[in-house]
Chains A and B, each alone.
Chain A
């Protein structure tokens, strides 16, 4: 079945299919799918992906029976359980949660200038069936934890979330993805940071091998705002992390970092892209990966500096450790610079664990296995020790120990 047929058949269950504007937009998208035959060779973002899983699928969506829960905890933090991408509406003097509206949809589809030909985002727009919008009100300091739960097997979730941090607000957002059923989630986060706001965004991904997760985020930063993202990928299933950031006004900053631990036949595709459109902005993109068995990973990073964006600082770093002969890692750190007063750099390394370091540890009586584990932990120590939240730090340590127990 091709995309068009799947769409026509399930039109009823898809959001906003009555809206004329959106209909026209979707027809255009379908056209792209029909004419573009996913030429893998010319589209490197599709590297290592089994296209059949994503573009020739059975559409299935169920509205959850159990409603989502929003708790306003005592320590002024909120915990949200989002079921199949749905979240109940909620409102108090600090935050407001609503369903995603057709206006939000249009807003994104019209202003998406970063990457127009992202097939997964287009798929998300076509089959949108869930999503919510969270507004953090002015000058509030808030902590939110969202657990994303998928209830049944074979579900295809296409979810679009909007996060808006109003002026002067600060949000610490922890998102958990831990699913064990055989389904696919395609999630798009649209993040807007107003003046002087900040967002610390943590994504913890730990799905079983039959669950596919595609996460894309588009964040835009206004004056003096700060977007900080940390991705921890422990999944056994396929994960795609594509994160785009636009620095629109002076003194804004984006920090996109991630670590991934892959094993068996797993693959993961990662991309970060920061566009500098204003003076005095900073960006940082760091991804580290550990691959064992037959795991494959790609990481594309890109810094684009516009002509007006003088005094830019943009850094990229990509590091990969291959623990097995059959693992492979592909990285492409790109710089596109049109302004002259900038400091931009990238570094990229791929290799095995340092043999001298192993020798050092073994000469002090450690087994090879223990030495390897210590060196892997130290490889990502910087990322782990920078986590302020104790609870989260513990959680990630646990997951790391689980991964290390399988390292021989």
Chain B
């Protein structure tokens, strides 16, 4: 690479985080620290029934026994669980506002800055938004229309009150609280999140979407999302995140559970752009997310799409358990790391049923001094006759101080199953750059074109509403070099 290119890359990698602002709203917090008292506080605040409190306390006792997983390729100081607030809700939200005019105008302003279509735009965009602002749902839109179809789309706390039979049946059925340290932690202290239930043979007419936002200092966000798609139903769910600029590390340990029954399909898309820390690697969000989907019924399908550009630490493996015969699991991912960001992300496809299929497309781009790891597991169990997997993971390196790693685990115990895995690592192709520049594109445009092409396979999987935002985030992370 010539010096001009290097200079440019240098200036791009210095790009500041644009969404770094803090809204001043009084927060209602319990004392710092994780103990039974905190859990009881959260439970009382949320008016939860007793079985829920028991479930939380049970998870907490499990958490105390489990050590943090160590196998990831990440470096970070030990998390002090006693130095975190586990609950924070904007004041005056105990009685929910009936419409947006009752909501704190500062909040609305925050969303407007982010371009979230909560006011007029929501009608135009046709998106039902369930906004989580520091743990409590602020407003839920489009409820009426969804109710007509029998779709339940609400916060998980509301679901615990109104639909305890569904929550009891499915909560923790895909990610048991004792699965690992972060799932136990989340089960003990989760504050809010979304709950979706699609009844039999209903195709959800719109993309359901939730914006999570971390706002209060030192508040770990522990969302719990539960999506159940009953027989023959379809739902597409969007999750997007941006967080204000902070100096101290914030812990985030969400759990997302998906259950697809017979012939059902769930599409789950994420755009994650939390504060990644500054150029020296100070601050930033620690993102330890557990996402798991269960294709419980025959012919069911779960598809994960993610664009990961933020967070100082990303530890995330959206996975699929393909239990039903003919079920399908998909995973599309773009992960971009800059400065001192570290990402260890990938997926896990467990083939149990016959004729199950899975597809993994992962694209990693490392810049600056970041480390980007793909870690994935594909396993065919003994009864997974004629199962099929295709995996492709490509890495792109920009600069010689970053690292790109690929760690796939592949296991087959069935002789009619076929696994294919491909991976490549390279820098931006000089020939392609030359070709583009020769045709009059600036260096910037050329790099943009190439990186866009590199990610296209994944970005095109995103729903229309999200694709624009995703492209915006990619360009912020790579600004200049992408366009």
A residues at B contact (CB < 8 Å): 307, 310, 320, 322-352
Chain B 364-419 interface residues, beta-carbon cutoff 8 Å to A: 382, 395, 397-419
Q: Of all chain A residues, which has the CB nearest B421? A: A348
Is B50 interfacial (CB 8 A cutoff)? no
B423: A residues at CB distance < 8 A: 333, 335, 345-347
Do B415 and A323 touch across chains, with their CB atoms under 8 A apart? yes
Interchain CB contact (< 8 A) of B398 among A329, A335, A340 = A340
Contacts of A329 in B (CB 8 A): 411-412
Q: Contact check: which of A333, A344, A349 meets B408 at CB < 8 Å?
A: A333
Q: Judging by beta carbons under 8 Å apart, are B427 and A334 in contact?
A: no
**Contact yes or no, A337 B422, CB < 8 A:** no
Task: Number of B interface residues at 8 Å Cβ cutoff, please give it.
Answer: 33
How far, in angstroms, from A40 to B324 measured CA to CA in the complex? Answer: 31
Chain B facing A: main interface SS: strand
Q: How far is the CA of A351 from the CA of B415 in the complex (A)?
A: 6
- Judge whether B421 and A346 touch: CB under 8 Å: yes
- Extra contacts, 11 of them, besides A327-B415, A332-B410 (Cβ < 8 A), are A328-B412, A329-B412, A330-B410, A330-B412, A334-B406, A337-B395, A337-B425, A340-B398, A344-B424, A351-B412, A351-B418
Distance in angstroms between the alpha carbons of A347 and B423 in the assembled complex = 6
Which chain A residue has the least Cβ–Cβ distance from B418?
A: A351
Docked-complex contact A332 and B408, CB < 8 angstroms = yes
| Chain A neighbourhood of B99, CB < 8 A | none
Query: Which B residue's beta carbon lies closest to that of A314?
Result: B425
A260 CA / B397 CA spacing, docked (Å): 35
Chain A: minimal CB distance from B66 (Å): 14
A341 to B382, CA, bound (A): 42
Task: Judge whether A352 and B418 touch: CB under 8 Å.
Answer: yes
B426 touches A344 (CB 8 A): yes
**A332, B407: Cβ atoms under 8 Å?**
yes
How close is B378's CB to chain A, nearest CB, in angstroms?
9
CA distance A97 to B405 in the complex (A): 42
Does A325 lie within 8 Å of B382, measured CB to CB?
Answer: yes
Separation in Å of the B402 CB from the closest CB of chain A?
7
Chain B residue at smallest Cβ distance from A355: B416
Flag if A333 contacts B412 (CB, 8 Å).
no
Q: How far is the CA of A161 from the CA of B132 in the complex (A)?
A: 65
Q: Does B431 contact A (CB under 8 A)?
A: no
Residue among A328, A334, A351 facing the most chain B CB atoms (10 A cut-off): A351
Using CB atoms and an 8 Å cutoff, list the residues of chain B in contact with chain A: 382, 395, 397-427
Interface of A is mostly: strand
B406, A346: Cβ atoms under 8 Å?
Answer: yes
Q: How distant is the Cα of A341 from the Cα of B427 in the complex, in angstroms?
A: 6
* A350-B418, A351-B419 known; A341+B409 contact, CB < 8 A: no
Of the candidates A330, A332, A345, A352, the one whose C-beta lies within 8 Å of that of B422 is A345
Bound-complex Cα distance A137 to B405 (A): 40
Cα A362 to Cα B416 in complex, Å, equals 19
- In the complex, the chain A residue whose C-beta lies closest to that of B426 is A343
Interchain nearest-CB distance for B242 vs A (Å): 29
Closest 7 CB pairs of A and B: A351-B418, A322-B415, A340-B397, A348-B421, A345-B424, A350-B412, A335-B406
Check A336 against B403 for contact (C-beta < 8 Å): yes
B400 lies within 8 A of A339 (CB): yes
CB-CB under 8 A for A351 and B411, given A307-B400, A307-B401: no
Docked pose: A389 CA to B416 CA in angstroms: 37
Measured between C-beta atoms, what is the minimum distance from B407 to chain A in Å? Answer: 5
Whether B427 pairs with A340 at a CB distance below 8 angstroms is yes
A327-B415, A340-B427, A342-B427 known; A348+B410 contact, CB < 8 A:
yes
- Identify the interface centre among A310, A335, A336, A346: most chain B CB within 10 Å of its CB: A335
- Report A-chain residues with C-beta under 8 Å of the C-beta of B419: 348-351
A sample of 22 cross-chain residue pairs with beta-carbon separation below 8 angstroms, ordered by A number, consists of A322-B412, A322-B415, A325-B382, A326-B382, A328-B412, A330-B409, A332-B407, A333-B408, A335-B425, A336-B405, A338-B402, A339-B397, A340-B397, A340-B427, A341-B427, A347-B420, A347-B421, A348-B408, A348-B419, A350-B410, A351-B418, A352-B415
CB distance from A297 to the nearest CB of B (A): 10
**Once the chains bind, are B400 and A341 in contact (CB under 8 Å)?**
yes
Whether B421 pairs with A337 at a CB distance below 8 angstroms is no
Residue in contact with B400 in the complex, picked from A310, A346, A347, CB distance below 8 Å: A310
* Contact with A324, one of B408, B410, B415, B420 (Cβ below 8 angstroms): B415
